[in-house]
A and B are shown apart, each in its own frame.
Chain A
């Protein structure tokens, strides 16, 4: 047993842009461009970034729900990108996903019992009676009641549906759960309930999370380590405490300064970024952040910075920091 449960190496997902009379390829959108990171057993790795930076695509392509263009994903020592479709299907037992939209991720025509039982049926686990009992147990585990089993998704609130989504992911006792913005569709009061549930489950079941979010305070609350993504790349990756107390990358600094604080009198240094996120179809040369970076130099415009350790496992992709 290695310490790392998940090792992602140079993961890429490019979408072709077709155009012209013959529908030929005229370019690519680099949704995920050379992303590498590891997730240790039992930890929570947060992945933050603004909309369209490739966080969800990263999460989905490492589960091969979207086929990655290139790169390696080692899960528990197995290269999942090299598995055949049928081997991958069996592998999915161990790696599950919780989706963002609890209204779209449950089949409206199935009742809760059917939704939760389905993973067990698919993998041929247990007899019908055992499966039904497991469903009842799991409903209690995620804070619902066993009498909810016969209801349909539209009879639940958003928070309850998200609990069902989590229950479905847990039915197969997975090792890894990719949580794709699991709370961003929920009210703040419900968010904390679901986050606490996820933390309790992690402690009780020894789960490993890849937690994707755009809300920095949520990520801070739940993550052991955090990766910050910008335009399909990870620009900074370090422990949660390090990142929030000592952010290095200029983008992370700007992002953190935008987090609202409850104290209205607090003196804050606000870094306002100029301009918009460039198109991932035509990313800037060198460091993709140089168009908006207050510290950009000639080197930033020409050379893409390496993603390297600047000490204590604090990884950053920026020319300002040389190890």
Chain B
């Protein structure tokens, strides 16, 4: 008999393993090969950006004019541009700018969009009407045009481009959060929270926000990819980074006229943009699957 009891105790101890929903999502994500490839690409670019001064063999803003538009060689892996600057060094430093702009503009739009979406969805009525109509108006403009208008007002610079990209993406996150809040508000656990006497602010922070995070993370990750492209587009139009900053989009536009004579000056920045965006899209797709409640077993 005594032995039987000992066994019961050990079985109980065994089933103690508890998996939080976030850890479960991470496990699902780790099994997704494409998402892991995306993560690897992003980690690669992040490393390059962080270690740029170590990796880059030449300064990004100085070149010898005699060396201009030279094809890739041992000294200049990606060749040189029309100013004789090392394209490899510029691409390496460019990773800093693109990741910086992508990440921080998305953080900006996520924070603003989430706050506005929570308010609109939770309080409804006139608060919702005002916020939603402003979103509608902003979404009525083609987003890049709106960004150009904002940069035109503030003056062309990298910071203003970042700000403009953050602003134009607010409605995307705002609408997403608002719709999540509207459906979560009707959930019984929110009514249960109210029934135990919880304040609105605590209900928002403890119950509604944590349950809205999954779609925010997915859209945010994909949003970084879009923001990088938008930053490159603004740079290409001369409204983003100013010379001699090695912004990838700016590099494309500067080298446009030499595209036939020196294609490497266009290929490598373009390839970098494509790879980074691909990385963020892959991980975003993977996150969407991993965080989807319907995929839970």
B and A form one assembly: yes
Residues of A within 8 A of B (CB): 60, 63, 65, 89-93, 96-97, 99-101, 104-111, 118-119, 122-123, 147, 150-152, 154-155, 165, 168, 171-172
List, in ascending order, chain A residues with CB within 8 A of B12's CB: 147
List, in ascending order, chain A residues with CB within 8 A of B206's CB: 107, 110, 118
List, in ascending order, chain A residues with CB within 8 A of B207's CB: 107
> Which residue of the partner chain, among A96, A107, A122, A150, contacts B189 with CB atoms under 8 Å?
A107
Tell me whether A152 and B20 are in contact (CB under 8 A): yes
Residues of B within 8 A of A (CB): 12, 16, 18-21, 187-189, 191-199, 202, 206-207, 210-211, 293, 296
List, in ascending order, chain A residues with CB within 8 A of B191's CB: 60, 65, 99, 105
Tell me whether A108 and B195 are in contact (CB under 8 A): no
Can you give 19 A-B contacts (C-beta < 8 A)? A89-B198, A92-B195, A96-B195, A106-B192, A107-B189, A107-B206, A109-B21, A109-B211, A111-B20, A118-B196, A118-B198, A122-B197, A122-B198, A122-B199, A123-B197, A147-B12, A150-B18, A151-B18, A152-B21
Nearest neighbor of B13 in chain A, beta-carbon distance = A147
Interface of B is mostly: helix
Tell me whether A89 and B189 are in contact (CB under 8 A): no
Min CB gap B195→A, angstroms: 5
Nearest neighbor of B189 in chain A, beta-carbon distance = A107
List, in ascending order, chain A residues with CB within 8 A of B296's CB: 154
Known: A99-B188, A147-B12. A119 touches B197 (CB 8 A): yes
Of all A-B residue pairs in the complex, the 5 with the closest CB atoms, nearest first, are A92-B197, A105-B188, A104-B188, A119-B196, A89-B197
Nearest neighbor of B12 in chain A, beta-carbon distance = A147
Known: A99-B192, A107-B207. A147 touches B16 (CB 8 A): yes
Known: A101-B188, A122-B202. A92 touches B196 (CB 8 A): yes
Nearest neighbor of A109 in chain B, beta-carbon distance = B210
List, in ascending order, chain A residues with CB within 8 A of B199's CB: 89, 122
Tell me whether B197 and A90 are in contact (CB under 8 A): yes
